Structure 1
């Protein structure tokens, strides 16, 4: 595992106030409870969020607020996450407590779920604050990242369609 550096221990409100925010939604043909089943499954994350290589829960299951996990991503990025909210079937949120990339000052994600007649609507908001040279690249890298996040949600739809078909 790469050396990890501390990140700001932000609260869930950071998702609404971060310097860089990306919010995207997708309609899923599954129940909110089934979506939380996917969220709890460490092996599911790399199947739809292809930037993720490995997820491991580092605290006892089932997940809850305060649960922790380690995530490994492309380009060697690793993070130690802590769940701020685990509220099935409505909301989940986590932050990085530590990251392998020093430029990540703060990072958090929130997943808001609303039931729909055909299943549920997921709104995924990713928020971050970067320092160093990384902040100069955010306008361009943010556009590319947001396109990737939309693609991941399409993959999530395909994954959940296949898993719960």
Structure 2
């Protein structure tokens, strides 16, 4: 059953009880990566294997996301500063125990390419926080695979 999450801003990324941070280098430049994240929301299904549906809603400041396994999210974009940061807050989720969730994609130049840092910042019940921490290796692998697939997509 879907439920409303707590509305927070970008500052939550630094103060969340559970912060999982992953990074990977890409050969595509930051501007190209930023536009893939922000402007091609439906394209996420082509490079992020866990995402089965991604579509902008409303005036483009909100998104609907569906994941393999049945996860469903309504999100609000809380930062889109080209080409440095893209972040969104989950407003509604069907994941039990989650109370707050923000994801931040931070892009920094790295030679001719981009260093992508993804922060998964969350809070919830004690059980949810424990499961989120245990999920870190799987989330890290999903992130690395997704960034690799996005890089291939952008440089082919």
Gaps of 5+ in 1: 62-66
Q: Is the 8 A contact 1:30 1:119 kept in 2?
A: yes
- Deviations along 1:51-83, one digit per CA (max 9) or x if unpaired, are 21111100334xxxxx10011112211111001
TM-score under structure 2 normalisation? Answer: 0.88
1:12 is paired with a residue of what secondary structure?
coil
What is the match of residue 149 of structure 2? Answer: 158
1:15 is paired with a residue of what secondary structure?
helix
Is 1:109 equivalent to 2:108 in the alignment? no
Q: Is the 8 A contact 2:34 2:84 kept in 1?
A: no
Let me know the Cα RMSD of the aligned residues.
1.9
TM-score under structure 1 normalisation? Answer: 0.84
Residues 11-160 of structure 1: pairs in structure 2 closer than 5 A = 11-39=9-37, 40-61=39-60, 67-131=61-125, 133-135=127-129, 137-138=130-131, 141-160=132-151
Aligned-partner Cα distance in 2 for 1:58–1:36: 19
Q: Is the 8 A contact 2:28 2:154 kept in 1?
A: no
Question: Which 4+ runs in 1 deviate beyond 6 A?
Answer: none
2:86 is paired with a residue of what secondary structure?
strand
Structure 1 residue 129: Cα displacement:
0.6
Structure 1 residue 151: Cα displacement:
3.7
Aligned-partner Cα distance in 2 for 1:158–1:48: 5
Is 1:6 equivalent to 2:4 in the alignment? yes
The number of residues matched between the two structures is 155
- Deviations along 1:72-125, one digit per CA (max 9) or x if unpaired, are 112211111001101110111110111112411000011111112121111110
Aligned-partner Cα distance in 1 for 2:153–2:134: 29
Q: Is the 8 A contact 2:51 2:65 kept in 1?
A: yes
